[in-house]
């Protein structure tokens, strides 16, 4: 199973848990978790094909340098 299939499976499981939740608060929590898993599907291809993906400590891509950063390096 590839990572994207695993994320989809996790989202489905969270949806199932939301459907069976005993109260609105729990249901909302499960639906947020499902949405989080689904949002990871969108970001995973970028992570896999970026240079930052090769570095395990780089969970977030580096921000673009600001104009101030560019001026400071000269």
Q: Is the pLDDT of residue 53 over 60?
A: no
- Name the domain count of the chain: 1
Sign of CA dihedral 19, 22, 23, 29: negative
What token pair was written down for 22? 């005993």
In a domain, 67, yes or no: no
Residue 61: inside a domain: no
pLDDT tens sequence across 4-44: 999 999 999 999 999 999 999 999 999 999 999 999 988 87
Question: Could you tell me the pTM of the whole model?
Answer: 0.59
Cα dihedral 64, 67, 72, 74, rounded to 10, equals 100
What is the domain extent for residue 7? 3-54
pLDDT at residue 51, rounded to an integer: 47
Contact criterion met (CB below 8 Å) for 10 and 18:
no
**Sole residue written with tokens 């970001």:** 43
d(CA 30, CA 63): 31
């Amino acid at each position: 199973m590839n990572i994207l299939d695993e994320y989809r499976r996790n989202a489905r499981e969270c949806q199932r848990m939301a459907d069976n939740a005993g109260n609105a608060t729990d249901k909302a929590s499960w639906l947020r978790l499902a949405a989080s898993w689904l949002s990871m599907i969108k970001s995973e291809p970028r992570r896999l094909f970026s240079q930052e993906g090769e570095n395990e400590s780089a969970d977030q891509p580096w921000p673009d340098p600001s104009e101030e950063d560019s001026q400071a390096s000269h």
